[in-house]
Structure 1
Amino acid sequence: MTEFDNNPFAEPVHDNPFNDPSVTQVTNSTIEPVDQYPPFTQPYDGLAAQTTSASTSPYQPAVLQPSTEPSPQASAAAAQANLLRQQEELERKAAELDRREQELQSRDSTGKENNWPPLPKSFPIKPCFYQDFSEEIPVEYQRVCKMIYYLWMFHCVTLFLNLLACLAYFTTDTAYGVDFGLSILWLILFTPCSFLCWFRPVYKAFKTDSSFSFFFFFFVFFCQVVVFIIQAVGIPKWGNSGWIAAFSAIGNNKAVGAIMIIVAILFTICAVISVIMIKMVHSMYRRTGASFQKAQQEFSQGVFTSKTFQTAATGAASAAAQGALQGNN
């Protein structure tokens, strides 16, 4: 078929540039041209719809609520309630202190039952002293006072072991029977005397802050330190298992010498601890404000207020008055 058979009014197939596939794809695309988004017109309806849907989401932004301050009347009422509560607490504590003070006064008026030495109730000898560190001794002095009490107990145990050592020494050599006899005397004599002469004075000094008791303790306890040193030295024939006596006995019997060396070590420990204790008590004594003048005043007041002294003075005055009247007659 020739070209004359074609329709002369139809568009040529090969000559139309818009029939190209790439061109037809662009012209038939659903992408909207840029002209449809004018910059000075209202927002796009689809964008507005998205904004509206986002604003209607269930998550709302946080909104700070304004703080409500209490009114002055409410503040005053709360402060008054707090003051009333504190006042009730103070009144309760004051009532508790009054109750304890009344209990102490009643105990002082009725007299405290002695509890030292701790003896069975069926024992014929009753306790002679009342002793309670937590009640009678201030808290800052309790530790030192207890240490002195433990030193006294340690000294008593050492004296008992000294008796056993001297007994063992006496069994090996009868010439040292005098040491055994003196060791019995030291145990019987020093055990109660040390308690009465230096422990009870320091206990009373800490209890009542007595200057006279402090001075009495220093004087007696210094003598006790000297005795501890003599016992630790162990002079032969003095009834002490000290170092000299122990080295003398170890040549005859090693077992007895070893026992006496142990006792000598205990006497040495007593001497060292006693020196430490007297320094500690002296440092506390200086902080209490005690003095020799106060000790003299306490001694004079104690002597003049003593019933025994008053009775003796009254008897002496009456006897002198009667003698003077008889002389005049």
Structure 2
Amino acid sequence: MDITCRRASLADVEEIKSLFADTIMNVNIADYSPEEAADWASCGERKVGWSELVSQLYFIVATDGDGRIVGFAAMTDDGYLDYMFVHKDCQGCGVASSLLSVVETHARSRGITEVTSDVSVTALPFFRHRGYVVEKEQKARACKLYLTNYKMRKQLETSVCLSTARLVLRRWREDDAVALYKYASHPDVGPIAGWPPHTSVEHSREIIRTVFAAPETYAVVLKETGEPVGSVGIMFADGMHSAAMKAGEAEIGYWIGVPYWGQGLIPEAVDCLLHRCFADLNLSAVWCGYYDGNRQSRRVMEKCGFKFHHTEPEKMSPLGDMRTEHFMRMTRDEWKCRVAVNDK
């Protein structure tokens, strides 16, 4: 089944509201009495309430190839999974897995270390399979009746260290500031990508504390020497990024010190991050962007299998000047095909 996840809009409210009640009365009714199911379904009659949820929460919908909403999920800013429902005709088709992967990826991108939820009897096996642990069985009020559900919790993986043939990709540390300044202060590195050269070791240390503190930002460390010589990262739609992305997509950014240009180290690191994006984070597509004239960056994308998508002229860079930016993209299916070919 072709599933796409995106942020919900107010135009989706009626379809969300209908799916909520329909799922309860056709799926959850297998585990709840008709009276309980009807009481629970009646909670969805408040249209204003759905509009507020769509506006205030991280609210995503899953759509099929025809654009029909086949599921939705909503998460609060502190990692509480408030809703997740899948259309009665799409049970067991991977919709729930796609929704949960997207909201968990969103949580990681916000630095959230655990997800909690109150899970129905019907959904209990699915959440257990996805690594959630029952804290307690409880009775929770629907509208008038109290229904059985389960308080569940999952610790998210936050400290990731990746490895390639020549590199270790790990979180930046403050004691990396000297090495970072050594390479990020060169005038040929930052400006072509839209950021200013670092001006001091303390400037580099502040970047590590702030910009490089993002959950999926990694120091590119040479195995041979243990020295960080560049940086790579996965950026999500609700954080620092350049591409116009949907939920379940991300953008990869990268740079490496001038002495290591032309050695294939960044393509090696980007290939590793593509595996992270598609195999671990279950993303549907990954973007890369480069400014006009940055041939080295474009070549990295081509080596890693990205395909040209579109160009955006007259775009302001972080340095404040107007530039033309080109975007390349890779879908999960394209990545799988590329991995299959390389494995032969």
TM-score range (shorter-chain normalised) is: under 0.3
Q: Which is richer in strand?
A: 2
Bigger Rg, structure 1 or 2: 1
Q: TM-score, normalised by structure 1?
A: 0.24
